[in-house]
Amino acid sequence: MSTVRRPFTVDGKPFFSLGGQSRNSSGYNRAEAETAFRAVKLLHGNTLEIPVYWEQVEPVEGQFDFGSVDTLLAMARENQVRLVLLWFGTWKNGNMEYTPDWVKRQPERFKRVTNPFGNTVWVLSSHCEATYQADERAFTALMSHLKEADSEERTVIAVQIENEPGILGSDRDYGPEGQAAIESPVPSKVLECLPALTESPVFRSWLACGQRASGSWDEVFGADAGEYMTAWSIGRYIDRLAEAGRAIYDIPLYVNVWLGEQGFRQAGTYPSGGAVSKTLDIWKLATPHIDLIAPDIYIADADGYRAICRAYARDDNPLFVPESAPWGSNAWNMFYALADCSAVGYHFFAIEHIVGPDGEVNPAAKDIVGSFHATAAAIPLLLKYQGTGRVHAIAQYEGMQEQHLDMDGWVGVARFGYGGYTYAGMDWRHTGGDRALVEQPRAPRGRGLVFQADEETFYLVGGAYRLGLLRKGPASETLDPTRSTDWFRERQAHFVSVDEGHFDEAGAFVVDRRRNGDETDNGIWVEPDVQVVRVVMTR
């Protein structure tokens, strides 16, 4: 059991941020943003992540225009959702696309990264003080404007500083400033912490180079020196921005990460110096003014997805997923992040894609929208039970027919799929019943969450599964997934009550519909549109 640190708050209370991120250029004007706000409502989300562009707010050096920010604030208030603003400044996806024209046209002043071959790449160097000063002036102007325009309403719950910072095209800057940096001594703050980082890639690099107590980056870290030095340089650059911004308006600040864990990759093919898991310990040392470092997870396979969640869910870094895939396995992978890694918020990218031509949910997005509906209904439960060991993920992967849950005093068996007599207990609103009367649709993969509130009370959200519960003992010890459903049904415990419902603004469970009889046969089923199912078991 652990206490979950929650950076996001609303009205002084912990806030679970759920929603999506707009496409990169959706924040330029009201017309561009309308579809994104529509998508958040369809998703039952509470937050939209949307960019603020340096090139737009400071088109002329020293002259600021925050009209686009004011438009976003007004739209968010109209739609009753919160905002996370994404500062597209020095870095956006490892390059400099969203910097102002006057920055792009002065490479001699705002220095670019030089690669090992002596060529410049389309990335601003973190070693250039002129670039930092220009970015700081713009970022602090944004924070000043937010303080003036939003300090009472608190529409904006957080700001992301930069976007997937790092260097695409080189492991480090080989220009004069970069060369001087890698030849300089590794900071004592890093060296002093190395002996305690025994599970870290940084420690292994240090170990391979003889555990030196001092020396240059090359001497201390060998082949990894370029990426580690760049991580320290970019981390310190961003932390300086964070410190300056918080001195004006103190709201949560975070950094997102383009991951480097996909395939056989080398620094520079992903943004080198970004806070990938390999460099995360260096980033945590470099950024004391940043609340969290957040992975953008587009990994589809379950093992890879879970490994990333575990890497970023740390005591000093609560897991927040600002970007994920709007398709495929994310619809069920996400429940692992919520249950096992206590994610404090979850978003997916290109939220506009869920809006169909008729303004309703695009049928292709049905699975991910259903998963977000279920999560939205469970937010009071997440805020209460994350970190207690009482939250269990349901996730059906290829070939799975059922999943077993080890709970306090109970074994849960989640069975997947639609159709057949074992699903006959679903009501007239949903799939099931007499197959001569109801056409069986394609079954989405089962997914969701099971919360154990106390010894007898459980809450379920999600879809395409039904849960049976057995008290731990001889019957559960011989649980055999190859045996028939009847064998399980004969042993499962009995229900005192099964209710569909929702949580009101005070966090109390409100019963919308009582189930009984056929609707509780063969376990408890749940679908996103029923919101939350509460189950009370017999003693």
Q: What is the pLDDT of residue 490?
A: 55
**Is 116 a residue whose pLDDT tops 90?**
yes
**pLDDT score of 291:** 98
Map tokens 């905002």 to a residue: 83
Of 49-53, 93-97, 260-264, 525-529, the one with minimum mean pLDDT is 260-264
pLDDT at 428: 62
327 confidence band (pLDDT: 50, 70, 90): confident
- Summary count for the chain: helices (H), strands (E): 17, 22
Q: Is 212 exposed, middle or buried (0-12, 13-18, 19+ CB in 10 A)?
A: middle
**Tell me, what's the pLDDT at 518?**
74
pLDDT for the residue 487: 46
Closest CA to 527 of 442, 439, 466, 458: 466
Rounded percentage of the chain residues whose pLDDT exceeds 70: 91
Assign domain 9-97+135-168+232-387 to a CATH class: alpha beta
Residues of the chain with CATH 2.60.220: 394-537
pLDDT at 488 over 80: no
Q: What is the reported pLDDT for 59?
A: 98
pLDDT tens, residue by residue, 137-164: 999 999 999 999 999 999 999 999 999 9
| Share above pLDDT 90 across residues of the chain, in percent, rounded to a whole number | 81
Segments of the chain assigned to CATH 3.20.20.80: 9-97+135-168+232-387
Question: Mean pLDDT over residues 160-175, rounded?
Answer: 97
pLDDT tens digits, one per residue of 224-268? 999 999 999 999 999 999 999 999 999 999 999 999 876 657 888
Task: Give the containing element (helix H, strand E) for 18.
Answer: strand 17-21
Average pLDDT over residues 348-355: 95
Buried b (16+ CB within 10 A) or exposed e, 70-96: ebbbebbeeeebbbbbbbbbbbbbbbb
Model pLDDT, residue 491: 63
CATH number for domain 394-537, candidates 1.10.3470, 3.90.1530, 3.10.450, 2.60.220:
2.60.220
What pLDDT sits at residue 475?
A: 56
Which residue(s) pair with 457 in the sheet?
536
| Mean pLDDT of the region 477-504 | 70
Cβ atoms of 353 and 20 within 8 Å: the answer is: no
**Mean local confidence (pLDDT), 494-502:** 93
For residue 484, what pLDDT is reported?
A: 45
- The least confident of 52-56, 123-127, 219-223, 359-363 is 359-363
**pLDDT confidence of residue 493:** 79
The mean pLDDT value for 99-110 works out to 98
What element of type H or E holds 412? strand 410-416
Is the predicted pLDDT of residue 104 greater than 50, yes or no? yes
Dihedral of CA atoms 451, 454, 455, 457 in degrees, nearest 10, equals -60
Total-model pTM: 0.94
The arithmetic mean of pLDDT across residues 14-41, rounded, is 93
Q: Are 396 and 416 in contact (CB under 8 A)?
A: yes
Q: Provide the pLDDT for residue 478.
A: 55
Task: Return the half-sphere exposure (C-beta side, CA atoms, 13 A cut-off) of residue 110.
Answer: 21
pLDDT > 90? residue 28: no
Q: What average pLDDT score do residues 158-181 get?
A: 97
Predicted pLDDT at 103: 98
Tokens of 75: 């739209």
- pLDDT of the residue at 480: 56
Q: What is the mean pLDDT of residues 498-514?
A: 95
Q: What is residue 283's predicted lDDT score, i.e. its pLDDT?
A: 98
Q: Residue 439 pLDDT > 80, yes or no? A: no
Q: What is the pLDDT of residues 385-426, one digit of tens each?
A: 999 999 999 999 888 889 999 999 999 999 887 754 444 456
What does the pLDDT read at residue 220?
98
Q: What is the pLDDT, as a whole number, of residue 472?
A: 87
